[in-house]
Amino acid sequence: MLDVRPPAVAGSFYPEDPSQLAEDVRGYLAAVPATNGPAPKAVIVPHAGYIYSGPVAATAYARLAALRDVVRRVVLIGPAHYLPIRGLAASAAAAFATPLGEVPVDRAAIDGLRDLPQVVVRDDAHEPEHSLEVQLPFLQTVLGDFAIVPLVAGAASYDEVRAVLERLWGGAETLIVISSDLSHYHDYARAGRLDAETAAAILALDADAIGEERACGRIPIGGLLRVARAKGLTATSIDLRNSGDTAGPRSHVVGYGSFLFN
């Protein structure tokens, strides 16, 4: 068994220095206006470099303050960007590391998925992957003690993801985090139109209305939307921006959204 999965994108997607990383994450969270409302069961958050998507991700993570001493397990699913895989890849690691420390992996939860044919153990899929890693410093900051169930999704159906989520759904102790950016490399105006359509599909819990090129995490999002519809959850959009709004040019942008499910 791999003891600890080391960070792959510290120093590129986010600061490698622990003090700077902690300061940056706290700064993103502090910039979110205070709001009231129920804490979410699930969130969709972006996963680009922090200067681009950090402010958008923070709008969801800031809503988790009430869950600090409640959540003990985070089911974290994002897309596989680097290796073609079939199904969903779990990790054999005992923990995932960031500059802020180690986060234990819920090995019992992963063992409980092994009878599902779409779940495989592929540490090679996790080794370079940023979609899960960039969420960890935010989670380490807003939550107390927790373990993760890290899964990267490749060629899988919405219902295959749904089956995994239903197996892991749990109660208040379990938070679902879906990691996904939205449209990629369109001009600012076109990206805004495409992302607004994707946001509308998410709010309608309509997985089939999200086109293949609309979100890199379309498969995990689709699985969540099917579970949310079955369980009577409601989706709320709390932020919808792109890299042209945060830290990049507007000629070729990447879209980001934060969504809550209650």
User: Mean pLDDT over residues 232-254, rounded?
Assistant: 95
Q: Please tell me what DSSP assigns to residue 67.
A: G
Q: 240: which 2 tokens?
A: 């919808």
Q: For strand 95-98 and strand 101-104, is the pairing parallel, antiparallel, or unpaired?
A: antiparallel
pLDDT over 90, % of the chain: 95
The predicted model gives 232-249 an average pLDDT of: 95
**35-79 pLDDT tens trace:** 878 889 999 999 999 999 999 999 999 999 899 999 999 999 999
Question: Domains in the chain: how many in total?
Answer: 1
pLDDT digits (tens, 9 = 90+) for 158-206: 999 999 999 999 999 999 999 999 999 999 999 999 999 999 999 999 9
Q: What is the pLDDT of residue 102?
A: 98
Residue 13 φ/ψ, nearest 5 degrees? -80, -25
Distance CA 45, CA 64 (A): 13
User: CATH number of the domain that 122 lies in?
Assistant: 3.40.830.10
Name the residue with higher pLDDT: 255 or 248: 255
User: What mean pLDDT, rounded, does the chain reach?
Assistant: 96
User: What distance in Å separates the CA atoms of residue 228 and residue 241, rounded to the nearest whole number?
Assistant: 24
221: burial class by Cβ within 10 Å (0-12, 13-18, 19+)?
buried
Range of the domain at 13: 4-261
Structure tokens at 128: 């370079």
- Three-state secondary structure of 96-159: EEECCEEEEECHHHHHCCCCCCCEEECHHHHCCCCCCHHHHHHHHHHCCCCEEEEEEECECCHH
Tell me the pLDDT band of 1, cut-offs 50, 70 and 90: low
Mean local confidence (pLDDT), 10-39: 94
Q: Are 178 and 161 in contact (CB under 8 A)?
A: no
Q: What is the pTM of this model?
A: 0.97
Distances (CA, A) of 212 to 89, 217, 222: 20, 10, 11
The answer to whether residue 257 scores a pLDDT higher than 80 is yes
User: Dihedral of CA 71/73/79/80: which sign?
Assistant: positive
